[in-house]
Amino acid sequence: MGNPFETLGLPPRFALRREDLEQRHRDLSRALHPDRHAGAPASERALVAPRAADVNDALRALRDPFGRASALLALHGCGLTDADRPTQELLLEVLELREALDLARGVEAKIAALRGRVEALARAEEDTLSGVFRGDQAPAPGDLKRARDAAVKLRYYKRFLDEADVLEEG
């Protein structure tokens, strides 16, 4: 997939209103629906399906804060890879959080407290990303490094929150 912001016709910035994102997706999905192109020539219909898939992929990428950060970093030539490693400090922090989560198994109040703590940490990283990717101008190299570090942290916090979800559901 190319540029998900361009695909959805949205400005390349981190702070996007979920309502705007989903409305744009609905509008494009409606316009690209196969029923609207049933009478069109086969060559035109063949172009619609991949475009509809791109719109769905763009929504998935931009709906998730980590996906949005990854897309923005890629647009600025410094995309994230699995090789991007967190700091030792972050690894220790997440390890301690996971141990606490494991000990909280079956105790909803403790899981909720840990979730709240990690959600606050994730919001702080999202604030950093919002500050760097405002959409009005290209970020400075130092800001891109801060954004990259924030995205790596966000990746780890998201994984923790996913693990908390599994515990809460189980």
Q: pLDDT, tens digit, for every residue of 24-80? A: 999 998 888 776 676 777 777 677 778 888 999 999 999 999 999 999 999 999 888
> Looking at the domain assignment, is residue 78 inside a domain?
no
Number of domains in the chain: 2
Q: Are 34 and 101 in a shared domain?
A: no
> Looking at the domain assignment, is residue 9 inside a domain?
yes
Q: Which domain does 41 fall in, by range?
A: 4-63
User: In this structure, what token pair is assigned to residue 167?
Assistant: 């515990």
Q: Are 94 and 160 in a shared domain?
A: yes
pTM of structure: 0.86
CATH number at residue 121: 1.20.1280
Q: What is the rounded CA–CA span in Å between residue 159 and residue 105?
A: 17
DSSP string, 100-142: HHHHTTT-HHHHHHHHHHHHHHHHHHHHHHHHH--SSSPPPHH
Q: Are 58 and 126 in a shared domain?
A: no
CATH number at residue 15: 1.10.287.110
| CA distances (Å), origin 89, targets 96, 158, 165 | 11, 17, 24
